[in-house]
Structure 1
């Protein structure tokens, strides 16, 4: 007897799924990952991944042992209590909040009680928790620098939060532009709730705010009842000049929610971040709590808690560094400084002043961090990126993927964080050949 063919599986319509799945930014990031995978031999200036430095697999076991020894010897915990700390779910707000509080006090001059810190699964979760807690009304609007890191705009898109771009200048966000955006937002019937910024060596632009601009931004925030979401993964990695204080270190009115991560300064594979949320929250009956406590309620319904093992590894690393990560990162800071210097020197060598004027090429000179931006006189889009990878063996990132206002079409981002100086030298030679071929019409 012949069996009837089984019915075809039911397909889901993309139109019936959440609108964020059709967002061009998500498609752009998938395209970039796909191109990187298809051209493994290309020299890549695309991802902003940190260097692996001197990491060795056995370091993980040492960090873990350091943390458990600290619990037993320094805090006097029993073996059973240590076992529970590592093997069970644990405190939703996190287990190493006290070590993090000591570290940010030593490194950044940020003095907050440990209870104001929520340990998160990477900084991306810190963004999601903070946005979900703060943005309650349909008219609530998030202001962001443009160009902007796609993690925050993607999180806002997932949560259905309106985003308004604030054009970024050569020295990062202009406080007066933020003020203008706040007023324009209100005139449009919105409630500007918070402004997101990376004040030091921003991703993607590499721009940094000066001290006067930071202080002025905090004044604007206070005057306009605006919160500032400060994301600071790159502040350690200064190339020239002194380190600048974080916005949170300058914050006297609890206007700043500080988003932190150990991905760049410690161990990216641990996926441990944190949020400093020391703002007071008043309930309808007059009860008071910290914003961190409210974020914890949301976390309990998402990731429940951050991996106890990952926290223990980071905790051990912090203890080994005496909770002074800036000093512990001295070799890494030197690596990034050398790489940025090499990148700038090689661009200068291939495009000296007269030639770059003739060709219409320019770039910025960041004071540190991972990224710089090159302006070119052609469309630096996904089609050009694929050609660059296939024919010239070099990858970069189109800046248009980071703009919310249609800008960046003739700009490309270069990241110099994970390569050796020799790879940077060869990569810029390939990039120069690609740019020259584009301008002479021979790239195809």
Structure 2
């Protein structure tokens, strides 16, 4: 007789509606392939050229030869397992210094299989027991709440951009016998809200973290699309007390298929015998038991891309930055055109106006759930993402996320027209 497993006997995360929601979105996209999609947060494919992969690989291999490696050593670097912390940490550190004004010792960098692995490693290292709690900015990227669910870590939401609420939540949890361990936040062009944190709020957040003895997990997948780091520094660039663990990714700024991310974890860790290492070294121990190491081939290609552009991604991404900014301008303009002020008031429609990035949020007069999304795809030929899954404690039922990253301006204009027709039909 064949083995038959009960879902009730598997890990509880597999029954979590959060995982089902993301699967449903993928399935709807496949069922309606001709629908214009505001759903994916993937970069525009027009900036990818397959021939660049081989070119970047050659650039990196020449870089190794220039450092004095023999051909045997070059071959070993590319084909063998390699160091757990990665082989391009020095190039990542140079890029962060050039583009973010962030001085990171390469020894504090762990190269990961996408930022998602970085989240898992950081959460596993920081949350040691059942009373440890992860605070998250709400609405929140589902990748981190999903990772916490896989690890059986409790998450508690804090309203986005509210340091006072962060302090109050941390104190309440301590009074309940819990240990608020860290706070996860995306300060630049956040997914899903698209909002960015003002510099004053960043300083306030770091002050609150110090007062409440919290670490801050800063996720910055979109920061390289900003125009200049001096305008709005990362939390890590402002960090003077090693409060911030920094997550980065090359998925949006180079290409997702490389699956390359990194963690900057420069916090000292003291062992019972008094010896000291970096948190990055502890993350590497965990990584050695998960993915062992990040594929050298992916690292070499991204390393070659960084070298080609003198470790300055902002300059390399200037065309993409302009493209996404233009798309966002079109989206906001088309929403204004299809929903003039009087009609917005009558329907109860509103939206935010992000300064950049991929996402904007639309408030609508109906429940924007999976059923509504499928009706919209079937009857109006347009897709979007429900916001409710991004609210860990509930909320967002009448909000939807619109992404402009994968469409062109003509498609955005047509997509908003179709969406407007659906909104009116559903009001």
Smaller-chain TM-score bracket: over 0.9
Structure 1: unaligned runs, 5 residues or longer = 1-6, 440-444
Contact 2:226 2:321 in 1 (8 A): yes
SS of corresponding position for 1:91: coil
Shift of 1:238: 4.0
Equivalent residues in 2 for 1:250-269 (5 A)?
A: 250-269=238-257
- Counterpart of 1:134 in structure 2 is 126
Pair 1:294 & 2:286 matched: no
Task: Provide the rounded CA distance (Å) in 2 between the counterparts of 1:328 and 1:237.
Answer: 10
Listed one character per residue, the Cα deviations across residues 85-119 of structure 1 (whole Å, up to 9, x for unaligned) are 00100000000000001010111011121000000
- Counterpart of 2:92 in structure 1 is 100
Pair 1:82 & 2:74 matched: yes
**Once superposed, what is the RMSD of the aligned Cα atoms?**
1.2
Shift of 1:242: 7.5
Contact 1:235 1:243 in 2 (8 A): no
Contact 2:225 2:318 in 1 (8 A): no
Shift of 1:69: 0.6
- Counterpart of 1:26 in structure 2 is 19
Pair 1:53 & 2:53 matched: no
Equivalent residues in 2 for 1:96-245 (5 A)?
A: 96-168=88-160, 173-238=161-226, 243-245=231-233
Task: Provide the rounded CA distance (Å) in 2 between the counterparts of 1:147 and 1:213.
Answer: 17
Q: Which deviates more from structure 2 when the two are superposed, residues 52-61 or residues 417-426?
A: 52-61
Listed one character per residue, the Cα deviations across residues 192-242 of structure 1 (whole Å, up to 9, x for unaligned) are 000000001110011111101100110111111100000011123348997
Shift of 1:52: 1.8
Task: Provide the rounded CA distance (Å) in 2 between the counterparts of 1:68 and 1:305.
Answer: 19
Structure 2: unaligned runs, 5 residues or longer = none
Equivalent residues in 2 for 1:35-50 (5 A)?
A: 35-50=28-43
SS of corresponding position for 1:263: coil
- Counterpart of 1:68 in structure 2 is 61
Pair 1:405 & 2:397 matched: no
Contact 2:47 2:320 in 1 (8 A): no
**Which TM-score applies when normalising by structure 2?**
0.98
Contact 1:195 1:228 in 2 (8 A): yes
Listed one character per residue, the Cα deviations across residues 26-76 of structure 1 (whole Å, up to 9, x for unaligned) are 010011111011000000001101112332111100000000011112x11
Task: Provide the rounded CA distance (Å) in 1 between the counterparts of 2:359 and 2:42.
Answer: 11
Q: Which deviates more from structure 2 when the two are superposed, residues 416-425 or residues 183-192?
A: 183-192
Contact 1:141 1:164 in 2 (8 A): yes
SS of corresponding position for 2:47: coil
Shift of 1:244: 1.0
Task: Provide the rounded CA distance (Å) in 1 between the counterparts of 2:44 and 2:177.
Answer: 45
Equivalent residues in 2 for 1:356-367 (5 A)?
A: 356-367=344-355
- Counterpart of 1:442 in structure 2 is none
Pair 1:353 & 2:341 matched: yes
**Which TM-score applies when normalising by structure 1?**
0.95
Q: Return the index of the structure with the highest Cα Rg.
A: 1
Shift of 1:20: 0.3
